[in-house]
A and B are shown apart, each in its own frame.
Chain A
């Protein structure tokens, strides 16, 4: 049956009407094949215009509609709704853009008339081959997986947790809270970190919709948005989390002592340990690598000491399969290793610390109970704070880590608060103080202590060495003059990098790493900062790039919001209808398309020797269809036939 096409030419007030000979256009269109109705109308997007189209579709049994008007970017959706209301599939519409790309850019009326005719002709020829497309829906898992229990991950988990939705919060460490749990104070409010964090952690620990999986790592991810199957391994803790109350009796009797990585190696812990005082959940864990039982010895000191019978040597690692609809990766950051830049003396000069080491040093639950002392136990009289270590120079990282200036100011405050009369040397080449609070914070801190700002020529115009028992700092000042000073203690602000295992994570989750060192690539840095190229996998916090606590929280909540808006418990997931599809009979199994797909939507069935496109993952770009040598891939709404007809319509007269 021949199609019955209705063509509507919008005058758009004078915009289109005055730019061309509309009568000639209408007469031309009336003569086109399959066109049963042609109307020019003052303003089609107005209510009357839409009503007219709806009425005509029914009265004239139109099977296809062409709207010759403004850009499809303006009103394609409007007119699709108009078709749908009249009972016609919304994809049986084609817009001929005769305003932005004709009336407004062709000044000669006769040329504009010809161009408009060609554009409408193409639309008429194309629309005859349009196929009705259905917006399909699939059942989905409302549950979510959050990887990383730092600020971003916790914010995402708390926002997501609700009735009928379970959140699995996976953390590779034995405790939650991330890096912030290791801080004493936070900038710029100078609030105590545990005062803001502990109530939130408590909320997470007691939320019935959140299951916390500590000592757990993701091994494998299968599936797609709405239906991921995630394999995780929960390492044996060897301590029963239900009965252990964190009393610490076991720690006292354990005979093994190792460096405590949770205090940045500044003190020691036992083979059975609680990472730091106040770590949550407040439960001990046995470090299998160092515990004597796994070195072949028969020690059971901790079991004997435990008053609650909580030690469980028979624990084993457990593999679990989690079914979730969406995933948030909030795996945080690690610091640039300053030993890579020998000029900073890190690891060689005794009292040179990284910022995270200093955070522990100044922390009341840290190795010195918060006392700022040198390794020899003496109180420093001079402390140097060095900005931009490994940042903003071509040698290591080009980017600015955005938070270092602020936390160094916080350190200055903490030092001044504790050690009256201490002098602080601030080595910087630029200060990064954006936003509504930073400059005020700088002004306040600069006034309260004895800070001497030393302006370097370049971020790395500095060398730190040990000479005659003193820490000597040589630097080139902003005027190019070499200078030198001594200091008792040096605190470095190394660049933030994506977590050490971010590369492995990227492989497991099949997402990319983007700008900067190790950070996950967002879908679009401006308008889609928390989504990735893989639908349903979101990123938040420092896993995406260096940021402060408030931005991490915002991203965690944003990622959760994206999930909440689509993965509604009990509801189905609407799929994008403009996707590609494979004709199994035509596919020769060459797999050329598989590697071209940015979304891993194409998989090959080696038994049948053909490929299939997952409709949930496909975004409809059509790159695969263009590459298919056997013409087996159909790009819906941009099929070979539709495009060919459009080409002919644009080039042939009538």
Chain B
């Protein structure tokens, strides 16, 4: 390779190195601030002050869903810790026990009073009949 091209290769590598390290430092310092939601365990560890709007995500604990007129209450769990959620409104169709959920709400007395409930689904896709045989 001739010297001019070699110099160009070095300058490209140099620019790449700088942009990669710059962005890495930014992302590293932002760290968990880029997380979309807290898990119940993070919620417990971080001592979030009450009356603060937060997003919490996890699985809906099996058997925890209770409906009373327009209010629904359930427990979000990450199978280590869990937190109770109260919500008034309509939940998405995909909301069900043992499946993913993200809520936005205010934390008060260890209960989240949700303003928004979103369903989170995973990356598994399969026909309904196969699910029965694959239940491990």
Partners in one complex: no
